[in-house]
A and B are shown apart, each in its own frame.
Chain A
Amino acid sequence: MRNLWLFISKYNAFFLLIIFFVTSLIILVKNNNYQRASVWNSSNQVVGTAYERVNEFSSYLILGKINDSLALENSRLRNQLSSSFRNDSVKQVLVNDTNLVQQYTYTVAKVINNSIHQKNNYITINRGQKHGIKKGMGVISSTGIVGIILNVSENFATIRSLLHTETKVSANVSGNIGSLVWGEDNFDPRYAELKDIQSHLAIKKGARVSTSEFSLFPEGSNIGFVSRIGTRKGDNSLDIQVKLDTDFSKLQYVYVINNLLSREQLELEAQNKTE
């Protein structure tokens, strides 16, 4: 104790310095906004950095749990998304006319899958049995014919596109009837071939090509126009290239044609075979 007292009295200047200096600093920090703010800020920064590090580490440990909760939330939000809901409402317009009996009704459908670069192209639409779609119905777009319904499920239907080697459509050009095919020589989705037009017939370039009364499309539905005429060797028919009205690459909405009289027609024609 005595030694300690001697030590303190020997270096009294230093201890006095500490006492007075610390007192001044306390007064300084307590009474001056700028210095107080600096002290608080820096201490907060130190504490904040420490907390941040700890937080970083602990959040790493519960990453799995967070992942699960996020996935759960994602699925919940996805269920609320408007794209998760199907529009099941179907608008069919029936016109009541005493003179005319409506033969065709149209069902609007959205193209949800489409191909144009295959040898045989198919289109899928978001309408099916539920909406009265049946196999063999014709499909047109706002610009021209598209194809024929191939398979139908409850909510979807596939269309055998016009761009299919087996699709044949009875077409009318200037009153002459031929059959429209695609994929024999060309695989360009913009053009199709018109066959079985006799070579002596005068077909002009640019003539309109539309469906004939024999097709399952309403008579006069747009197909396209004649873009090139040539002669086929060893054959007495013309080689006609048709520029299609329908741009298959940009197909968005199509109309499925329901022929109200087709059943009657088929039944009648079926009788011919049985007899």
Chain B
Amino acid sequence: MGKVLIINIIRFIVLIASQVFLLKNIGYYNLSIPYLYILFILLLPFGIPNILLFLLAFFTGITIDIFYDTLGLNAAACTVLAFVRIVFINLTVQRDGFDNEPDPSLGIMGFRWFVFYAVILTFFHHLILFSFESFKFSEMGYTLVRVLSSTLFTVLLMLITEFAFFSKKVRK
């Protein structure tokens, strides 16, 4: 339990730092922007209570918002992300009998499941994020293009990150 807590704290700090200091400056012409920090919410353990999950998601979003100067925007997106995560895990994990696994990482859950999981959750997060950022219906098409391209970018970075720590987790 203590180990999980420490791992998650370190993960949180590293992801937030890389998001704020590195990925904030990376993007393809405001069209494709990576938000890798949501990997923290994605990788929280299966057994986490809903209320704690929401609080952590909200807190993560607010932390990013403080650095991005968009107070409440990432928090809203992360809250939705937490809800989608609960629904998605309820629909897939219970049916497949993975309930005893500690956390939904690539090494434990397999490549197919993880890609599916990451794409769905990232898509909803980015959808909320970009639509509330533009905050108007008239730019719907542009917003959707941004959502899709950013989802692609974020998921790509997630897979790279996961593969980088892949062997380590298998060994564990």
A binding-site residues for B, Cβ under 8 Å: 12-14, 16-17, 19-21, 23-32, 34-35, 38
Given A12-B50, A16-B50, also A21-B72 (CB < 8 A):
no
Q: Are B71 and A32 in contact (CB under 8 A)?
A: yes
CA A24 – CA B78 in complex, angstroms?
Answer: 10
CA A20 – CA B99 in complex, angstroms?
Answer: 26
B50, B79, B132 pick with most chain A CB within 10 angstroms: B79
B147 CB within 8 Å of chain A: no
Q: Are A27 and B70 in contact (CB under 8 A)?
A: no
Please give, as numbers and ranges, the residues of chain B lying within 8 Å of A38 by CB-CB distance: 135-136
CB closest chain-B residue, reference A25 = B76
Q: Are A16 and B72 in contact (CB under 8 A)?
A: no
Additional A-B contact list (11), CB under 8 Å, known A21-B80, A25-B72, A31-B71:
A20-B54, A20-B58, A20-B79, A20-B82, A21-B76, A21-B79, A23-B75, A25-B132, A28-B71, A28-B75, A31-B72
Q: What are 7 A-B contacts with C-beta separation under 8 Å?
A: A13-B86, A17-B79, A20-B75, A25-B132, A28-B76, A29-B72, A32-B72
Main SS class of interface, B: helix
Please give, as numbers and ranges, the residues of chain A lying within 8 Å of B50 by CB-CB distance: 12-13, 16
Please give, as numbers and ranges, the residues of chain A lying within 8 Å of B79 by CB-CB distance: 17, 20-21, 24
Closest 4 CB pairs of A and B: A28-B72, A27-B72, A24-B76, A24-B75
CB closest chain-A residue, reference B85 = A13
CB closest chain-A residue, reference B76 = A24
Interface string of B126-139 (1 = CB under 8 A from A): 00000010011000
CA A35 – CA B71 in complex, angstroms?
Answer: 11
Given A25-B72, A25-B76, also A12-B51 (CB < 8 A):
yes
Please give, as numbers and ranges, the residues of chain A lying within 8 Å of B71 by CB-CB distance: 27-28, 31-32
CA A26 – CA B80 in complex, angstroms?
Answer: 15
Please give, as numbers and ranges, the residues of chain A lying within 8 Å of B86 by CB-CB distance: 13
Please give, as numbers and ranges, the residues of chain B lying within 8 Å of A31 by CB-CB distance: 71-72
Please give, as numbers and ranges, the residues of chain B lying within 8 Å of A28 by CB-CB distance: 70-73, 75-76, 132
Please give, as numbers and ranges, the residues of chain A lying within 8 Å of B75 by CB-CB distance: 20, 23-24, 27-28
Q: Are B76 and A17 in contact (CB under 8 A)?
A: no
Given A14-B83, A16-B50, also A34-B135 (CB < 8 A):
yes
Tell me the smallest distance from the CB of B90 to a CB of chain A, in Å.
Answer: 8
CA A212 – CA B70 in complex, angstroms?
Answer: 102
Q: Are B72 and A24 in contact (CB under 8 A)?
A: yes
CB within 8 Å of A: which B57-99 residues: 57-58, 61-62, 70-73, 75-76, 79-80, 82-83, 86-87
CB within 8 Å of A: which B81-131 residues: 82-83, 86-87
Tell me the smallest distance from the CB of B62 to a CB of chain A, in Å.
Answer: 8
Please give, as numbers and ranges, the residues of chain B lying within 8 Å of A30 by CB-CB distance: 72
Please give, as numbers and ranges, the residues of chain B lying within 8 Å of A24 by CB-CB distance: 58, 61, 72-73, 75-76, 79
Q: Are A13 and B83 in contact (CB under 8 A)?
A: yes
CA A138 – CA B86 in complex, angstroms?
Answer: 110
Please give, as numbers and ranges, the residues of chain B lying within 8 Å of A23 by CB-CB distance: 58, 75
Q: Are A17 and B72 in contact (CB under 8 A)?
A: no
Tell me the smallest distance from the CB of B135 to a CB of chain A, in Å.
Answer: 5
Tell me the smallest distance from the CB of A26 to a CB of chain B, in Å.
Answer: 7
Please give, as numbers and ranges, the residues of chain A lying within 8 Å of B54 by CB-CB distance: 16-17, 19-20
